[in-house]
Amino acid sequence: MTTNEPVAVSTYVPVTQTEDRYKLLIENVTDYAIFLLDETGHVATWNAGAKRIKQYDESEIIGKHFSTFYTAQAKETGYPDYELREALKVGRFEDEGWRVRKDGSVFWANVIITPIYTADKRHLGFSKITRDLSERKKAEDDLFKAYEELKESEERFRLMVEGVTDYAIFMLDPAGHVATWNQGAKNIIGYEAGEIIGRYFSRFYSREAIESGYPEYELKKAREEGRFEDEGWRYRKDGSAFWANVVITAIYNPKKELLGFSKITRDLTEKRRLEQQLFQTHEELKESEEKSRLLIASVKDYAILMLNTEGYITSWNTGAERIKGYNAKEIIGKHFSTFYPREAIERNFPQFELTKALEDGRFEDEGWRIRKDGTAFWANVTISPVYNSEHRLLGYAKVTRDLTERRRNEELTQKNQELVRINNDLDNFVYTASHDLKSPITNLEGLLSALQEDLGPDGEKFNQLLVLMQGSIGTLRKVITDLSEVTKIQPEAIGSESINLPGLLEEVKENLRTLISSSNAEVTTSELTFQNLRYSRKNLRSILYNLVSNGIKYADPQRKPQVSISTFITDAGEFALSVTDNGLGIPNNQFNKIFGMFKRVHDHVEGSGVGLYLVKRILDNSGDRIEVKSEVGKGSEFTIYFHQ
The pLDDT of residue 296 is above 60 = no
Distance CA 353, CA 334 (A): 17
Dihedral angle computed from the Cα positions of residues 626, 632, 635 and 638, in that order, rounded to the nearest 10 degrees: 0
Mean pLDDT calculated for residue range 507-522: 90
Residues forming beta bridges with residue 363, ordered by sequence position: 383
Determine phi and psi for 88, rounding to 5 degrees.
-65, -40
Does the pLDDT of residue 11 top 70, yes or no? no
pLDDT at position 153: 60
CB neighbour list of residue 106: distance below 8 Å, 6 or more residues apart: 71, 98, 99, 100
- Residue 254: the pLDDT is 87
pLDDT at 77: 92
Residue 144 pLDDT exceeds 90: no
| pLDDT tens-digit series, residues 166-195 | 789 999 999 999 999 999 999 999 999 999
SS3 547: helix
Residue 469 binned pLDDT confidence (cut-offs 50, 70, 90)? confident
Least reliable range by pLDDT among 80-89, 145-154, 615-624:
145-154
Closest CA to 314 of 386, 379, 244: 386
Cα–Cα separations (whole angstroms), residue 16 to 22, 29, 67, 279: 10, 20, 32, 84
Q: Tell me the C-alpha to C-alpha distance, in Å, between residue 183 and each of 162, 180, 484.
A: 7, 10, 67
Q: Length of the chain, please?
A: 644
Averaged over 260-269, what is the pLDDT?
90
The whole-number pLDDT of residue 19 equals 53
Residue 2 has pLDDT above 90, yes or no: no
In the three-class reduction of DSSP (H, G, I as helix; E, B as strand; rest coil), residue 193 is classed as helix
Q: What is the pLDDT of residue 578?
A: 96
Q: What is the pTM of this model?
A: 0.32
Categorize the per-residue pLDDT at 110 as very low, low, confident or very high, splitting at 50, 70 and 90: very high
Going from the C-alpha of 40 to that of each of 68, 121, 338, 454, the distances in angstroms are 14, 17, 69, 155
187 φψ region: left (φ > 0), alpha (ψ -120 to 50), beta (else) = alpha
CB-CB contact of 37 with 128 (8 Å):
yes
Helix (H) or strand (E) holding 593: none
Band of pLDDT at residue 277, cut at 50, 70 and 90: very low
Q: How far is CA 307 from CA 283, 284, 536, in A?
A: 16, 19, 64
User: What pLDDT band is residue 286 in, cutting at 50, 70 and 90?
Assistant: very low
Say if strands 393-402 and 376-387 run parallel, antiparallel, or are unpaired: antiparallel
- Indicate the DSSP class of residue 422: H
Average pLDDT over residues 495-509: 89
Q: What percent of the chain has pLDDT over 90?
A: 50
Mean pLDDT across 501-528: 91
Does 492 score more than 50 pLDDT?
no
pLDDT for 421 beyond 80: no
How far apart are the C-alpha atoms of 302 and 322, rounded to whole Å?
A: 9
CA proximity to 615, closest of 540, 562, 551, 524? 540
Of the chain, the percentage scoring pLDDT greater than 70 comes to 78
Q: pLDDT tens, 70-97? A: 999 999 999 999 999 999 999 999 999 9
Sign of the C-alpha dihedral computed for residues 493, 496, 499 and 504 taken in this order: negative
Q: Which contiguous run of DSSP H or E holds residue 488? A: none
Would you state the pLDDT for residue 21?
Answer: 56
How do residues 12-50 score in pLDDT, each as one tens digit? 334 455 455 556 657 667 788 999 999 999 999 999 889
Three state DSSP letters for 489-544? CCCCCCCEEEEEHHHHHHHHHHHCHHHHHHHCCEEEEEEECCCEEEEEHHHHHHHH
Q: Is 369 exposed, middle or buried (0-12, 13-18, 19+ CB in 10 A)?
A: buried
According to the model, what pLDDT value does residue 426 have? 56
Does residue 326 register a pLDDT over 90?
A: yes
Q: CB within 8 A of 190, min separation 6: which ones?
A: 236, 237, 238
- Name the residue type at position 208: E
| Confidence at 448, pLDDT banded by 50, 70, 90 | confident
Relative to beta strand 575-581, strand 635-642 is antiparallel
Pick from 510, 504, 507, 509: nearest CA to 532: 504
Instruction: Identify the top-confidence range among 114-128, 135-149, 264-278, 438-452.
Output: 114-128
Check pLDDT > 70 for residue 606.
no
For position 51, what pLDDT does the model report?
92
Instruction: Please state which of the ranges 248-262, 441-455, 502-516 shows the lowest mean pLDDT.
Output: 441-455
* Neighbouring-strand partners of residue 401: 380
Q: In what order do the strands lie in the sheet with 376-387?
A: 313-316, 303-307, 393-402, 376-387, 363-370
Q: Which residues contact 262 (CB under 8 A, 6 or more apart)?
A: 169, 170, 171, 172, 247, 248, 249, 251, 294, 295, 298
DSSP secondary structure code for residue 7 in this structure:
P
User: Across-strand partners of 108?
Assistant: 98
Higher pLDDT, 587 or 636: 636
Number of Cβ atoms within 10 Å of the Cβ of 558: 6
pLDDT at 392: 92
Residues 512-527 have a mean pLDDT of 91
The full DSSP string for 147-181 is HHHHHHHHHHHHHHHHT--SSEEEEE-TTSBB---
Q: Taking Cα atoms as reference points, which of 390, 335, 386 lies closest to residue 362?
A: 386
Taking alpha carbons only, the member of 493, 538, 525 closest to residue 642 is: 493
Q: Are 476 and 483 in contact (CB under 8 A)?
A: no
| Close Cβ partners of 506 (under 8 Å, ≥ 6 residues apart) | none
Q: Determine the longest span between alpha carbons in the chain, in angstroms.
A: 187
Distances (CA, A) of 345 to 255, 353, 397, 423: 45, 11, 20, 41
- State residue 34's pLDDT score: 92
DSSP code per residue over 73-134: HHHHTTHHHHHHHHHHHHS-EEEEEEEE-TTS-EEEEEEEEEEEE-TT--EEEEEEEEEE-H
Strands 522-528, 562-569: pairing kind? parallel
Structural contact between residues 231 and 243, judged by C-beta atoms closer than 8 angstroms: yes
When the pLDDT of each residue in the chain is averaged and rounded to a whole number, the result is 82
Mean pLDDT of 609-637: 86
Q: What is the pLDDT of residues 359-410, one digit of tens each?
A: 999 999 999 999 999 999 999 999 999 998 889 999 999 999 988 888 777 7
CA 52 to chain centre: 61
Residue type, 382: T
Helix (H), strand (E), coil (C) string for 40-54: CCEECCCCHHHHHHH
Highest mean pLDDT range out of 239-253, 421-435, 465-479, 491-505? 239-253
Q: How confident is the model at residue 415 (pLDDT cuts 50, 70, 90)?
A: low
Please state whether beta strands 393-402 and 303-307 pair in parallel, antiparallel, or not at all (unpaired): antiparallel
Task: Report helix angle 289-298 to 134-162, nearest 10.
Answer: 60
Residue 276 pLDDT: 41
| Adjacency order of strands within the sheet including 93-100 | 33-38, 123-132, 106-117, 93-100
